[in-house]
Amino acid sequence: MRNRIAHFLTASLITVSIFCVIVFAALGLYLNKKNSATINQVGTIYMASMNERISKHFETMTDLRLAQIRTLAETIPAAKRNDAAALKTWLTESAQARGFDSLSYYYEDGSMEVLYGGGGQFLDSEPFAASLKEGEDKVYVGRNPAGDLVVLMGVPFRMELPNGRICAALVGELPVSYISDTLSLEDEDSLVYSFVIRKDGSFVIRSFDAFRNSYFERVLAIYEELDGKEPEDYLAEIKAAIASGEDYSTIFRMYGDRRHLYCSSLPNSEWYLVTVMPYGVLNEAVEDMGVQSLAAAMCCCAAILLVLLAVFLKYFRMNREQMTELEEARREAEEASRSKSEFLSNMSHDIRTPMNAIVGMTAIASANINDSQQVQNCLKKITLSSKHLLGLINDVLDMSKIESGKMTLNTELISLREIMDSIVSIVQPQVKAKNQRFNVFIYDISSENVRGDSVRLNQIMLNLLSNAIKFTPEGGSIELALHEEKSPKGDDRVRIRIRVKDTGIGMSEEFRKHIFESFTREDSKRVHKIEGTGLGMAITKYIVDAMGGEITVASQQGKGTEFQVVLDLERAEEREEDMILPDWTMLVVDDDQQLCESTVASLKSIGIRAEWTLDGESAVKMVTQHHKIHNDYHVILLDWKLPGMDGVKTARELRRQLGDDVPILLMSAYDWSEIEEEARDAGISGFLAKPLFRSTLFYGLLPYTGGEEETEREKKPAADLSGRRLLVAEDNELNWEISRELLGSMGLELEWAENGQICLDMFQQSPSGYYDAILMDIRMPVMNGYEAADAIRALDRPDAGLPIVAMTADAFSEDIQRCLEHGMNAHVAKPVDIKELAAVLERYL
Amino acid sequence: MTLQDCYTALGGDYADVSARLRSDRLVRKFVLKFLEDKSCDLLRTSMAEKNYEEAFRAAHTIKGVCQNLSFTRLGESSSRLSDALRHGWTPEADGLAQQVEADYLVTAEAIRAYQEAEE
């Protein structure tokens, strides 16, 4: 392809170049031709005027000479007329005085008598005889006895001579040179030279280098072919012009030189004047100009070609780049499609594995339908496989949503404590199953509530954790840490740093670079046994990016992996709940110093002074010291897993020293149900689930402050809602009654609307601010919940923006999304959970 | 026959409902009230009339009621039916409607038995 384009470009470049050269050359040549045509025209005009001048000159001269002879004849004195001798003498003297070489009588019979001089004879007496009859004065050419050409001037003059003969004319003779000198035909300096010829081509005046007798011979001998015209053609043209007595002009070549020829007839004679102008100098100038214009044209051509070449080169380069880009894109597309098909084959393998299990287990179960133990076992395995399959499918769906750009983020109130608690509870069984050590830390939590997408935040942490669990062998350890720090994006935001660290198999440097790409899994034997889609990290990365955060990974093969996610989330306004506990002194025992310090700081913020230590032994020492000076700690927080003496042992020891008075709480990120009995035996009063948020500590410690305060607090949220009036849109009476019963117990006043239309009407007819909120079922006859919400939001009332909470048995995220799109504030799933509903209402009321 | 026995008979989750409604009095009241609920009749007639939109809503309502009352068995079949009817009639809808009908009868039977035992 690339070659074809290169070939095409080269070929077209060459074609265009050749075309340019030809066009410019033709232009140059054309101009040249035009030039020489113009020069010819100028030459013709010049030569015509030159010939005319010479003709005029010739006419004047011949007129003068002819007049002289006529005067001579007419002025013969009468006395001398009859005396032959006297007449001859007088005529001779007079003619000599006027410079004639000879003078002759011309008799009627055509004979001539010479009066003096050589006496030239007519070369051809016929024309003279003819003009004699007409009575015309003319000049003719003749030859003297020496054989030289002479000019004869005949003037008809009838006179009876003394000897009795009748003289028809007087003929005077002049040398040819006289005419040529007078006409300056042989001026060396002149650009032009001329001949005088007779009608038959023979020369009268031969100037320049002419030596032949006839000009016609000269034409045939020295004219060269020019523009396809042969010397014969010229000759024919000249002859024709002479015969018709017209002027004739042409260009010819002689001795390789272009010359201009101009012929015109001479007056007072039968002669022709032939003038020739060699172009020589003129030609040089013209040719010079021609060359110059051609050169200029070629220069233009070269310039244009250069520009063209530059454009071509540029285009070629651009084309090349484009091709390279295209190639790159194609390669990427191929790569993507390859990894997709690889993914597909992996996927089908991954899907087939649980499917096989499901099919196989179903078969086994059917075969052993009466063995309930066996069936139960099979069902358990089927459930596990189904769950796994569902996970795979969810991942693929998520990824396709991401790839088509359909994933959106919600902004809602997130309680970090709730998220951490739920994650810990999800992860615990998995960690336990693989017998791994699991620890959760939180540090410097300044804002427990933030705004963001809790589902996606959960997904990020779960993905990281499930990977950590997956790729960490039994007995390894996994750590989840959450920090808060000042966000560089402003005071209304807080930077959250999530760290997930494991001591697993780690990954290769090569793989680390591709970990966030879709459909990649480390392709080595180590991970082949571990199922997964290879989408988890790509999804995680995408979510983190969409949240404007950053995810990094550090890993060493065989040592473990550490992921860090940094997110800047909006702080949610902290509920002004004064979480203050009595002025206690507490001891915190944990092997992680940072956790101790952070916990002590959290405790300080709820009004408790606390001390900390890193192991059970020193804790026992500190407690003993305090006990001795009767200044016991009010509460002791013990970590379960401690180096050396563990939490339970330490508690046993402390109880031995302190008795039963002081509450000792065990904190743990694990499910403590298994050790609960043992712990209680050892004297543990209660448990605190890690991570220890401020609120975790507050609510965890609250029971030890004395009963009254606790009950007061339990009641408090319900009291907040009493007296509020709710409109409940619900088509089913039974459901309505249940809602009324449950919500009524919270002190809420409720009114019932049987469908969306009634709900809308009731709201419209109520005074402004009468209802505090609307609970909206979605599937109702007449008008459904979406339409009702739209209609209410469209009303022109100050309270048209009141909180509307959707209640529906559908909990698909699309349905929830649709509720929000229709202007509802929140969604609760049926069956209505009183606590959840109360929390939602509290948020909006 | 106790409420718990009744729940066992109709395939429900007594622990769940009593945790949510918090008193046996309320549970008893609403369970008895279930017999008066017309949703199942509506479902039956709309299915017969091939009014699948109405049938969907009826199934959906039954599902909602069952969730509120923790009638797990009927809740599940009505949920499947409402899914099948969500976008109009589907081939499995008729079978599922029969299942709902059957489950409803079992449920209603159990409640009646409880009612009689109480009297």
Q: What is the mean pLDDT of residues A421-448?
A: 82
Which chain A residues touch B20 with a CB distance below 8 Å? 742, 831, 833-834
Structure confidence at residue A385 as a pLDDT band (50, 70, 90) = confident
CB atoms within 10 A of CB A151: 26
Number of domains within chain B? 1
pLDDT of residue A220: 82
Answer CATH for A184-278 from 3.30.390.30, 3.40.50.1860, 3.40.50.300, 3.30.450.20 = 3.30.450.20
Over residues A384-395, the mean pLDDT reads 79
How far apart, in whole angstroms, are the C-alpha atoms of residue A700 and residue A517? 43
- Give which of A681, A499, A693, A20 is closest to A298, Cα–Cα: A20
Whether B73 and chain A come into contact, CB under 8 Å, resolves to no
To test the contact with chain A by mutation, choose from B33, B65, B87 the residue with the greatest count of A C-beta atoms within 10 A, namely: B65
Residue range A515-542: average pLDDT? Answer: 65
Over range A383-395, report the average pLDDT. Answer: 79
Q: How far is B26 from chain A (nearest CA, A)?
A: 8
Res A518: pLDDT: 64
pTM of the model: 0.41
A742, A781, A830 ranked by CB distance to B57: nearest: A781
Inter-chain CB proximity B68 and A831 less than 8 Å: yes
- The per-residue pLDDT for A567 is 92
Tens of pLDDT along A644-701? 888 888 888 888 888 777 888 888 877 677 778 888 888 888 888 888 888 888 888 8
Domains A76-180 and A585-705 share a fold: no
Fold of A716-844: Rossmann fold (3.40.50)
Cβ–Cβ gap A741/B33 under 8 Å: no
- Alpha-carbon gap: B119 to the closest alpha carbon of chain A (Å): 23
Question: What is the DSSP pairing of strand A773-777 with strand A804-808?
Answer: parallel
Percent of chain A with pLDDT over 90: 5
Domain A585-705 maps to which CATH number in 3.60.150.10, 3.30.43.10, 3.20.20.100, 3.40.50.2300?
3.40.50.2300
Split at pLDDT 50, 70, 90, the class of A812 is low
* Model confidence pLDDT, tens digit, residues A331-367: 988 888 887 777 777 677 777 777 888 888 888 888 8
Q: Which of A734, A815, A832, A835 would best serve as a mutation to test chain B binding (most B beta carbons within 10 A)?
A: A734
Tell me the CATH number of domain A76-180, given options 2.40.50, 3.40.1130, 3.30.450, 2.60.40.
3.30.450
Q: How far apart are CA A494 and CA A416, in angstroms?
A: 12
Report yes or no: B65 at the A interface, CB cutoff 8 Å: yes
CA A781-A786-A790 angle, to 5 degrees, is: 120
The pLDDT assigned to A208 comes to 62
Q: What is the mean pLDDT of residues A254-264?
A: 82
Q: CA-CA distance, A205 to B47, in Å (whole number)?
A: 136
Confidence at A710, pLDDT banded by 50, 70, 90: very low
Architecture of domain A408-571: 2-Layer Sandwich (3.30)
What pLDDT is attached to residue A716? 41
Q: Do A735 and B64 touch (CB under 8 A)?
A: yes
ipTM summary value: 0.83
Farthest-apart Cα atoms in chain B, separation: 44
Chain A closest CA to B37's CA: distance in Å? 7
- Note the pLDDT of residue A712: 38
User: Are the C-beta atoms of residues A688 and A697 closer than 8 Å to each other?
Assistant: yes
- pLDDT band for position A530 (cuts 50, 70, 90): low
* pLDDT score of A502: 92
Residue B112 forms contact with A (CB below 8 Å): no
Q: Chain A partners of B13 at a C-beta cutoff of 8 Å?
A: none
pLDDT at A99: 85
The residue ranking higher by pLDDT, A39 or A496, is A496
Q: List chain A domain ranges.
A: 76-180, 184-278, 408-571, 585-705, 716-844
Task: Find chain B residues with C-beta within 8 A of A781's C-beta.
Answer: 54, 57
CATH code, domain with B38:
1.20.120.160
Question: Looking at CA atoms only, how far is residue B117 from chain A in angstroms?
Answer: 23
Q: Which tens digit of pLDDT belongs to each residue from A29-61?
A: 888 788 778 877 888 888 888 888 888 888 888
Query: Between A733, A779, A834, which is nearest B57 by CB?
Result: A779
How high is the pLDDT of residue A662?
83
| pLDDT tens by residue, A107-151 | 888 788 888 887 778 877 777 778 777 878 888 888 888 777 888
Under the banding of pLDDT at 50, 70 and 90, the label for residue A327 is very high
Query: Does A373 score more than 50 pLDDT?
Result: yes
Q: Say how far apart CA A519 and CA A398 lie, in whole Å.
A: 13
Contact A808 B37 (CB under 8 A): no
B20 with A830: Cβ contact below 8 A:
no
Mean pLDDT score, A458-466: 87
Q: Among B40, B60, B72, B83, pick the best mutation site for testing chain A contact (most A Cβ within 10 A).
A: B60
**For residues B13-38, average pLDDT:** 84
With a pLDDT cut of 70, the percent of chain A lying above it is 92
Over residues A389-410, mean pLDDT: 76
- A153, A136 contact by CB (below 8 A): no
Helix (H) or strand (E) holding A479: strand A477-486
> Which pLDDT band holds residue A396 (cuts at 50, 70, 90)?
confident
- CB atoms A735 and B61 under 8 Å: yes
Nearest residue to A772 (alpha-carbon basis) of A679, A841, A828, A823: A841
Q: What is the pLDDT of residues A588-629, one digit of tens each?
A: 998 888 888 888 888 888 888 888 898 888 888 888 888 888
- Residues in chain B closer than 8 A to A780 (CB atoms): 57
3-class secondary structure, A93? helix
Predicted local confidence at residue A497, as pLDDT: 93
Summarised one tens digit per residue, pLDDT across range A724-759 is 888 999 888 888 888 888 888 777 888 999 888 999
pLDDT at A533: 57
Of the given ranges (A393-402, A471-480, A821-830, B54-63), which has the lowest mean pLDDT? Answer: A393-402
Residue with tokens 């952070």: A598
CA closest to A742 among chain B residues: B21
Q: Which of residues 746-785 of A touch B (CB under 8 A)?
A: 777, 779-781
CA separation, residue A760 to residues A127, A735, A736, A769, A794 (Å): 138, 19, 17, 15, 11
Given CB atoms, is B34 within the 8 Å cutoff of chain A? yes
Is B37 in CB contact (< 8 Å) with chain A?
Answer: yes
**Parent domain of B61:** 3-118
H/E element, A728: strand A725-729
The percentage of chain B sitting over the pLDDT mark of 90, rounded to a whole number, equals 8
pLDDT score, position A563: 93
What is the count of residue pairs from A and B with beta carbons less than 8 Å apart? 61
Look at residue A495 in the predicted model and tell me its pLDDT.
92
Measured in angstroms, the CA of B42 and the nearest CA of chain A are apart by: 12
Residue A596: both structure tokens together: 């101790």
What distance in Å separates residue A782's CA from the closest CA in chain B? 11
Q: What is the mean pLDDT of residues A413-435?
A: 82
Given a cut of 70, is residue A91 above it in pLDDT? yes
| Binary contact (B21, A809; C-beta < 8 A) | no
Q: Is the pLDDT of residue A711 over 50?
A: no
Chain A: residue whose CA lies nearest to B57: A779
Nearest CB partner across the interface for A737, out of B30, B57, B63: B30
